């Protein structure tokens, strides 16, 4: 992933300020020279970037490892991402910072150059692969909410994490075993510029994961958009408007008609028997008794129907709350993954475009890309390791709460506080009045 050291090669015409050229055989080496103030500023910025990356990713690892509520299988992937980013900050950034402060010349020797490139490639690739696997995990969690969580256990997550690191190592090994030699002449430490290896490494490390992430984001975005349309345009289907809800209403009207008819029949019977009460008194009493019995039966039937209607309404409310929860989860997943993919693409795409084109433009033994441009794009890629912990914390209330408690040294009762906050949120959802979104 890295170009460290003075760039072997020649440039197009034009003089560049604050840059000296040292003549070697057969090519020239570009060395950037900085003044004292520039070194202080550059050193301060790079040191802050490195330390912030270390602290942010350490917070993620500590939070998930020591807070019980966060020890969920899906968060293991975030820990893998944090470990990869932490490795970049600890094993890669310090050496790149030192090299940049002395103008771009590699001073750590040929042997460590190969070790350094191997660490850099593996850690950066593991970070990118972890982002890719997280996007797949989120997509399956949204589209298969009933079946995927059953398979989403610790063993499954461990296999996915192992696959990420093994695939990352597969990109690291070829230069170490002779397929493609790194460029290293004592002043320059540059990953192999072999055409085949360049295409293979950039495709596996970046272009394929980026394509997968874009596809997952598009599918989650489409699911969230369809769910939003269901809310804002058609609304959730109301069972009371047709089907089960309509039946009790119609049945109640029918029974009222029957009851009204029977009452009129009773009145007519009483009028007739008033004319001849002595002859038909017994028959009249039987009719009245039958009418009262029918009235009780109708009332019981109506009561049963009303009870069923109320139960149907409760079921509808539970179903509606569940649908709203799914809708919010889809929206949140789409927003999170959208920002993750956007930040990832912004940070790494320029670097990989230059890295892919470099051997075809400059040749396999040198780099003709301006050193200042290479360093800027490289550090822009490293910045992705800094922002990842804060992106996930921004969309995860439990992570935010844990970060806050850890930074304020409030280690005690973190689990209890998170559980209480979760219970409070659940009660708010249950007690929330029934309003359409």
Contact 265, 338 (CB under 8 A): no
Which residues, in sequence order, are CB contacts of 306 under 8 Å at separation 6+?
248, 252
Of the chain, the end-to-end C-alpha distance in Å amounts to 47
Query: Which H or E element spans position 23?
Result: strand 19-23
d(CA 300, CA 289): 17
What are the angstrom distances between the C-alpha of 90 and each of 55, 97, 166, 341, 343? 11, 12, 20, 24, 22
92 — phi, psi (to 5°)? -120, -55
Each residue of 298-333: pLDDT tens digit?
777 777 777 777 666 665 566 555 556 655 666 777
Predicted confidence (pLDDT) at residue 246 exceeds the cutoff of 50: no
Each residue of 267-306: pLDDT tens digit?
555 555 555 555 556 666 667 677 777 777 777 777 777 7
Adjacent-strand bridge partners of 32: 19
Which residues, in sequence order, are CB contacts of 192 under 8 Å at separation 6+?
174, 175, 180, 181, 182, 183, 198, 364
Mean pLDDT over all residues of the chain? 77
What are the angstrom distances between the C-alpha of 77 and each of 64, 80, 148, 329, 332? 11, 5, 15, 19, 18
pTM flag (> 0.75): no
Each residue of 166-205: pLDDT tens digit?
999 999 988 878 778 888 877 888 898 889 999 999 999 9
Burial class (CB in 10 A: 0-12, 13-18, 19+), 386: buried
Average pLDDT of 222-227?
A: 78
Contact 310, 252 (CB under 8 A): no
Given this model, what pLDDT does residue 257 score?
Answer: 43
Q: With pLDDT > 70 as the criterion, what percentage of the chain qualifies?
A: 67
CATH 3.30.930.10 given to domain 3-234+333-431:
no
d(CA 86, CA 385): 8
């Amino acid at each position: 992933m890295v170009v460290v050291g003075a760039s072997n090669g020649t440039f197009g015409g034009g003089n560049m300020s604050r840059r000296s050229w040292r003549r070697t055989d057969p090519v020239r080496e570009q060395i950037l020279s900085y003044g004292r103030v520039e070194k202080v500023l550059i050193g301060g910025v790079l040191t802050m970037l490195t330390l912030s990356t270390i602290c942010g990713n350490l917070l993620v690892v500590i939070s998930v490892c020591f807070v019980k509520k966060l020890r969920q299988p899906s968060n293991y992937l975030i820990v893998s991402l944090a470990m990869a980013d932490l490795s970049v900050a600890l094993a890669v950034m310090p050496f790149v910072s030192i090299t940049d402060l002395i103008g771009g010349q590699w001073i750590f020797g040929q042997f460590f150059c190969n070790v350094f490139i191997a660490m850099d490639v593996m850690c950066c690739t593991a970070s990118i692969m972890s982002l890719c696997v997280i996007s797949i995990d989120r997509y399956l969690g949204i589209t298969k909410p009933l079946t995927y969580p059953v398979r989403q256990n610790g063993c499954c997550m461990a296999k996915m994490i192992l696959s990420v690191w093994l695939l990352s190592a597969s990109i690291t090994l070829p230069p170490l075993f002779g397929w493609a030699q790194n460029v290293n002449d004592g002043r320059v430490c540059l990953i192999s510029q072999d055409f085949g290896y360049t295409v293979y490494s950039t495709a596996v490390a970046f272009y394929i994961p980026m394509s997968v992430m874009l596809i997952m984001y598009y599918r989650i975005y489409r699911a969230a958009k369809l769910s939003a349309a269901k809310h804002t345009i058609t609304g959730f289907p109301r069972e009371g408007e047709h089907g089960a809800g309509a039946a009790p209403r119609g049945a109640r009207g029918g029974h009222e008609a029957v009851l009204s008819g029977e009452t009129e029949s009773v009145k007519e019977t009483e009028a007739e028997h008033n004319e001849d009460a002595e002859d038909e008194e017994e028959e009249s009493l039987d009719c009245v008794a039958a009418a009262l019995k029918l009235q009780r039966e109708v009332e019981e039937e109506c009561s049963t129907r009303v009870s069923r209607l109320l139960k149907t309404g409760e079921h509808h409310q539970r179903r509606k709350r569940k649908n709203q929860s799914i809708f919010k989860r889809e929206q949140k997943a789409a927003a999170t993954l959208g920002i993750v993919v956007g930040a990832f693409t912004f940070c790494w795409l320029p670097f990989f475009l230059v890295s892919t084109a470099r051997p075809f433009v400059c040749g396999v033994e040198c780099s003709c890309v301006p050193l200042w441009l290479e360093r800027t794009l490289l550090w822009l890629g490293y910045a992705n390791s800094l922002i990842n912990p804060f992106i996930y914390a921004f969309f995860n209330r439990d992570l935010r709460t844990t970060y806050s408690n850890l930074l304020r040294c409030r280690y005690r009762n973190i689990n209890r506080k998170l559980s209480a906050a979760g219970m409070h949120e659940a009660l708010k959802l249950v007690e929330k009045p029934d309003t359409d979104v």
